[in-house]
Amino acid sequence: MGNWAVNMMENEAPDSGRSSAKPPAHENVYQTLRAQILFGEMAPGQAVTIQGLTDSLGAGMTPVREAIRRLISDGALIFQGNRRVSVPILTVDDVEQLIFVRKTIESDLARRAADQIDPDVVTALERIDTQLDVAISNGDVAGYLQGNYKFHALLYAQANAPILTDLADRLWLRFGPSLRVVCGRFGTQNLPDRHKDMLTALRNGDAEAAAAAMMADVEQGMQMVAAVLAEDAARN
């Protein structure tokens, strides 16, 4: 994912037992903001100011600036021409495009993952899914969003397809804020858990079934986003 230092294993530091050097500040800021956007701590349309972030994150301006540029490039934020930056508001057209690309990319990732996944990872996915069920029944929105992301991220990491994984990851940043709105509107109770089909497909090594399950999952999630959008449009 956007993870820092992917290839710095077996680099035991000489001093004490700290395993890896500390990431630069701009990386930390990026990860923090990224998580906030992904897990719905920022609302669609919300303004993002550099100074506000330097204050709230206790970071300098340069790191914040770099993180914001990165997120703009990710599509997680938009630069509004005049010097304003904000969280984008999805349109119906946007959602339609997201459905199309997510279906093709993420179903392909599922297919690739199913072909070579390690049984231990399937077990790990099952564990995540269990936690997901708990979050759903508890109405824990943040837990649901994070668990859902973790499930998909871990699955996609098994595909060994860095470019596709990267693309998928960026797409999630685009609808993260809206997903939060969906949960706030419908509640978590009504969210069906579409991961069971995926898990059985993975256990069976059935790549096509995995791809189909992913298609259904994507379709269902995006349709809820579309529904909220339509609702908001009707209100005005």
Residue 20 near residue 8 (C-beta atoms within 8 A)? yes
Distance between alpha carbon 166 and the CA centroid of its chain, in Å? 11
62: left (phi over 0), alpha (psi -120 to 50) or beta: alpha
227 binds, among a second copy, DNA, none (CB under 5 to 8 A by kind): none
211 binds, among DNA, a second copy, none (CB under 5 to 8 A by kind): none
Contact stretch for DNA (CB under 7 A) within 33-41, 81-89, 157-165, 172-180: 81-89
Q: What is the DSSP string of 170-236?
A: HHHHHHHHHHHHHHHHH-STT---THHHHHHHHHHT-HHHHHHHHHHHHHHHHHHHHHHHHHHHHH-
User: Can you tell me which residue has the tokens 């397809």?
Assistant: 161
**Angle subtended at Cα 94 by Cα 89 and Cα 99, rounded to the nearest 5 degrees:** 125
- Which of 26, 152, 180, 195 lies at the binding interface for a second copy (CB under 8 A)? 26
Question: Both tokens of residue 21?
Answer: 């050097």
What is the total count of residues that contact a second copy (CB under 8 A)?
A: 37
- Which of 7, 9, 10, 22 lies at the binding interface for DNA (CB under 7 A)? 22
95 to 154, contacts with a second copy by CB under 8 A?
97-98, 100-101, 104-105, 108
Nearer to DNA, 50 or 157 (CB): 50
Is 60 among the residues that bind DNA (CB under 7 A)? yes
Is 233 among the residues that bind DNA (CB under 7 A)? no
194 binds, among DNA, a second copy, none (CB under 5 to 8 A by kind): none
- Which of 85, 121, 153, 212 lies at the binding interface for DNA (CB under 7 A)? 85
Question: Both tokens of residue 124?
Answer: 């790990």
- Which of 56, 62, 220, 223 lies at the binding interface for DNA (CB under 7 A)? 62
The sign of the dihedral angle between the CA atoms of 39, 41, 47, 50 is: negative
Is 161 among the residues that bind a second copy (CB under 8 A)? yes
Question: Applying CB under 8 A, which residues contact a second copy?
Answer: 4-8, 24, 26, 62, 65-67, 69-75, 81, 83, 93-94, 97-98, 100-101, 104-105, 108, 160-164, 166-167, 174
